[in-house]
């Protein structure tokens, strides 16, 4: 069984025909409504940061847009097509997902882990061909992990390991990359390094959606979507969204926003 | 970040596992060990037979009833049951993302033991000859069938209780609960009929003496259809290293695949346990040793674990037959006696390294 190759049937041309769109999606865990009528569009070549307090459904929205959860209402469209109508293999070829702490294999080498990213193109039984090997090489180059391709993951630093997992996601050569708090366990240096990497990928036409906690990291993104109580509170450029009024209103904490080189910087406390 | 395997048992090798050369070497080594184990296993016993004679008999160049009627079916049973335990252990370790997952984890062993005990107590199916000379008599067909159905039933019940294969933690818990209940029911049945207890008990402790040519034949036929299915699941098990959610994001239809793994492993284990009883630690040790030699790629780990399990059980049965000759030990006792310290050693070494 070999999964169908990507780049087939672009679908009808319409608004958002090349983007990943959550259109009025709602979701509930048992009785607790997490998201209600959220509309969000992720375009190719943009970095969109999803921000908001704990438990407002950021990760849920990410999973809905990745097809890992089904919306209770509304729909998610990939290139104008309903995500549910797309085969899971084709979905995996176009949307890559990196969870917050999915664990990492201890007994696989870096190269073996990155090669797992080709699964959507290979299906259950397909054998890796030239295109697959090239994609794995490319992903390792982009993330600068080629140098330790034969090492096992437990022997790497946290930052290196996170780059390997990113390379795994990139190896599918997806159009969209969904990352759940990718910098959570990284120190300042590795956070900066990782985000610079994302910025570079965006320049190659990849649409990147990241759940982030820190507004000061989110300000590096092209656009910021601010979620609160299951709804989209604000959406726009970081300078428009990250205002004192909005942050204080949501977090109930004194916040100051200062401009630094034309970018908002968020400071806690009076 | 959460690790997917037990830290104390992490491989000590900092670099990878080498390339294709190392893999070829490991597989060749396993095949050589298997051949040696067969010749040794068939040759050793109450009446020792020279290796040359064994090889001639195995090649069909000479007739030796001790070999053809007693030792060969027993050695082949060890190979088949060991292979089942090895590959099932590897598959369950991948599925449950735990290197200490046992192929009997979901209650199949307790189910089989219950089935066999029930059959024996219902039919009075153990002849007095069986009860007295359990070692030389085969298990009645009804008992084997009940054992097989018992194992299937136990896992089906665990699946039912946990609401399918989607939540792995619930599945393990349900398997443990079903297993515990069946163990107490089995004990109750055994208490009802003390005379037959010994033979049934010898069976549940794991014993290859009961298998015979019929058992080997049916086991081989059964493996022919189920074994290849597991070998095809290498990519799925590899992807599961990354977590279930990521595996699904890679396009794998995980719900169906997880169920497939459980069903195939259960069928294999049910067939093996119905013939040979419960043989502990082989399903843990074989994948564990081979993971250290080959790395974690299930494309290689699955077939290698099958070969490794076969070699381990072949050697364990050889010891079980010869250590206290002319009597013999149930091989399940022996594998547990050897396996326990093996894992203690690994734990101890892991702790010292840490």
Q: Which residues pair with A225 in a beta bridge?
A: A50, A235
Cα distance between residue B309 and residue B331, in whole Å? 13
Mean pLDDT score of chain A: 87
Q: How confident is the model at residue A6, as a pLDDT?
A: 40
* Interface test with chain B among A95, A103, A168, A176, by most B beta carbons within 10 Å: A103
d(CA A122, CA A138): 17
Q: Which two tokens stand for residue B308?
A: 């490794």
Whether A110 has a pLDDT exceeding 50, the answer reads: yes
Residue A251 in this model has a pLDDT that exceeds 60: yes
A201: which residues sit within 8 A by CB, 6+ positions away?
A142, A170, A177, A208
Residues in contact with A116: Cβ distance below 8 Å, sequence separation at least 6, in sequence order: A108, A168, A171, B238, B239, B241, B242, B250
Please tell me the predicted confidence (pLDDT) of residue B90.
95
* Residue pointed to by tokens 């735990």: B98
The structural domain count of chain B equals: 1
Res B13: pLDDT: 42
In this prediction, what percent of chain A has a pLDDT beyond 90? 53
CA nearest to B263, candidates B79, B95, B77, B82: B95
Tokens of B233: 């699941």
Shortest distance, CA B248 to any CA of chain A (angstroms): 7
E strand or H helix that includes residue A141: helix A130-142
- As a whole number, mean pLDDT of residues A210-214 equals 89
- pLDDT(A10) > 50: no
Closest by CA to B347, choosing from B99, B78, B126, is: B99
**Predicted pLDDT of residue B299:** 92
- The HSE-up count of residue B1 (CA atoms within 13 Å, CB side) is 28
Which of A175-179, B285-289, B339-343 is predicted with the least confidence, judged by mean pLDDT?
A: B339-343
pLDDT in tens, B86-121: 999 999 999 988 888 888 888 888 898 888 888 877
Give the model's pLDDT for residue B7: 39
CA-CA distance, B152 to B108, in Å (whole number)? 7
Q: Which helix (H) or strand (E) holds A22?
A: strand A20-29
Check if the beta carbon of residue A259 is closer than 8 Å to that of residue A265: yes
Q: Cα(A101)–Cα(B12) distance, rounded to whole angstroms?
A: 24
For testing the chain B interface, which of A101, A106, A132, A190 should be mutated: the one with the most B CBs within 10 Å?
A106
Compute the count of residue pairs across chains A and B with CB atoms less than 8 Å apart. 122
In a domain, B65, yes or no: yes
Sorted by where each starts, the structural domains of chain A and their CATH numbers stand as 20-268 (3.40.50.300)
Which two tokens mark B140?
A: 């009645």
Whether ipTM tops 0.85, in short, is yes
Terminal-to-terminal C-alpha distance of chain A: 61
Confidence of residue B135 (pLDDT cuts 50, 70, 90): very low
Confidence bin at B197 (pLDDT 50/70/90): low
Residue B1 located in a structural domain: no
Give the pLDDT confidence score for residue B218 in this predicted structure.
86
**Percent residues over pLDDT 70 in chain A:** 93
Residue B327 sits in which domain range? 7-353
Give the residues across from A28 on adjacent strands. Answer: A33
Distance CA B225, CA B231 (A): 11
The per-residue pLDDT for range A218-250, each reduced to its tens digit, is: 888 999 999 988 899 989 998 888 888 888 888
Mean pLDDT of A261-269: 77
CATH code for the domain of B12: 1.10.3470.10
Q: Which of B97, B242, B250 sits opposite A92 (nearest CB)?
A: B250
Rounded to whole angstroms, how far apart are CA atoms B322 and A175?
64
Looking at CA atoms only, how far is residue B294 from chain A in angstroms?
9
Average pLDDT, chain B: 83
User: In Å, how far is A178's CA from the nearest CA of chain B?
Assistant: 10
Instruction: Find, in chain B, the residue whose alpha carbon is nearest to that of A127.
Output: B235
Examine the pLDDT at A173 and tell me if it is beyond 90.
yes
For the four alpha carbons of B343, B101, A106 and A121, in that order, the dihedral sign comes to positive
pLDDT, residue B129, reads 43
Q: Do B1 and A116 touch (CB under 8 A)?
A: no
Phi-psi region of B288 (alpha: psi -120 to 50; beta: other; left: phi over 0): alpha
Closest CB from A101, A107, A122 relative to B235? A122
Residue B247 included in any domain: yes
The answer to whether the predicted template modeling score (pTM) of the entire model surpasses 0.95 is no
Q: What is the pLDDT of residues B223-279, one digit of tens each?
A: 888 888 888 899 999 999 999 999 999 999 999 999 999 999 998 998 888 888 889
pLDDT digits (tens, 9 = 90+) for B288-345: 999 989 989 999 999 999 999 999 999 999 998 888 877 788 888 889 888 888 888 8
Q: What is the DSSP letter of A83?
A: G
* A101–chain B nearest CA distance, Å: 6
**Which residues have a Cβ under 8 Å from the Cβ of A236 and sit 6 or more positions away?**
A223, A224
């Amino acid at each position: 069984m070999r999964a169908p190759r990507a780049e087939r049937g672009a679908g009808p041309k319409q608004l958002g025909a090349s983007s990943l769109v959550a259109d009025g999606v709602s979701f509930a865990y048992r009785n607790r409504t997490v998201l209600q009528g959220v509309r969000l569009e992720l375009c190719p070549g943009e970095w969109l940061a999803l921000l908001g307090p704990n438990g407002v459904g950021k990760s849920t929205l990410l999973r809905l847009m990745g097809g890992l959860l089904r919306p209770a209402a509304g729909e998610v469209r990939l290139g104008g097509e309903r995500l549910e109508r797309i085969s899971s293999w084709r979905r995996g070829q176009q949307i890559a997902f990196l969870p917050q702490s999915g664990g990492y294999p201890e007994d696989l080498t870096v190269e073996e882990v990155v090669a797992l990213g080709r699964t959507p193109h290979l299906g259950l039984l397909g054998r890796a061909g030239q295109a697959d090997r090239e994609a794995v090489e490319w992903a390792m180059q982009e993330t600068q992990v080629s140098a330790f391709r034969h090492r096992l993951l437990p022997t790497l630093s946290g930052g290196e390991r996170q780059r390997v997992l990113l390379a795994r996601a990139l190896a599918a050569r997806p159009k969209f990359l969904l990352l759940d708090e990718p910098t959570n366990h990284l120190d300042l240096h590795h956070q900066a390094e990782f985000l610079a990497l994302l910025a570079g990928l965006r320049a190659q036409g990849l649409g990147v959606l990241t759940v982030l906690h820190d507004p000061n990291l989110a300000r590096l993104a092209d656009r910021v979507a601010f979620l609160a109580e299951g709804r989209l509170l604000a959406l726009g450029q970081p300078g428009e969204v990250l205002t004192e009024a909005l942050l204080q209103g949501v977090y109930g904490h004194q916040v100051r926003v200062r401009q630094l080189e034309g970018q908002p910087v968020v400071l806690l406390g009076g | 970040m959460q690790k997917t395997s037990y830290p104390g048992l992490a491989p000590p090798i900092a670099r990878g596992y080498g390339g294709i050369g190392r893999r070829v070497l490991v597989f060749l080594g396993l095949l050589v060990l298997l051949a040696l184990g067969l010749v040794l296993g068939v040759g050793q016993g109450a009446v020792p037979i020279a290796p040359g004679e064994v090889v001639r008999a195995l090649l069909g160049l000479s007739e030796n009833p001790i070999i053809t009627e007693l030792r060969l079916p027993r050695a082949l049973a060890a190979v088949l049951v060991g292979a089942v335990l090895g590959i099932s252990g590897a598959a369950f370790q991948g599925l449950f993302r735990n290197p200490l997952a046992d192929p009997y984890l979901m209650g199949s062993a307790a189910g089989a033991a219950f089935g066999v005990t029930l059959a024996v107590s219902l039919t009075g199916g153990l002849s007095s000859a069986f009860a007295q000379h359990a070692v030389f008599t085969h298990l009645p067909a009804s008992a084997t069938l009940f054992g097989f159905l018992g194992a299937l039933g136990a896992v089906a019940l665990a699946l039912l209780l946990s609401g399918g294969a989607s939540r792995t933690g619930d599945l393990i818990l349900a398997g443990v609960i079903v297993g515990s209940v069946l163990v107490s029911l089995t004990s109750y049945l055994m208490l009802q009929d003390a005379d037959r207890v010994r033979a049934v008990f010898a069976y549940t402790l794991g014993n290859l003496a009961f298998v015979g040519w019929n058992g080997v034949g049916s086991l081989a036929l059964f493996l022919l259809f189920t074994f290849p299915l597991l070998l095809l699941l290498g990519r799925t098990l590899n992807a599961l290293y990354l977590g279930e959610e990521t595996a699904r994001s890679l396009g794998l239809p995980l719900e169906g695949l997880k169920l497939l793994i459980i069903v195939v492993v259960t069928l294999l284990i049910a067939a093996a346990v119905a013939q040979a009883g419960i043989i502990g630690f082989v399903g843990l040790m074989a994948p564990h040793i081979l993971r250290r030699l080959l790395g974690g790629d299930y494309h290689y780990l699955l077939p290698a674990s099958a070969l490794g399990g076969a070699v381990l059980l072949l050697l364990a049965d050889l010891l079980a037959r010869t250590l206290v000759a002319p009597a013999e030990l149930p091989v399940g006792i022996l594998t547990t006696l050897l396996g326990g310290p093996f894992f203690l050693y690994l734990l101890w070494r892991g702790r010292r390294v840490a």
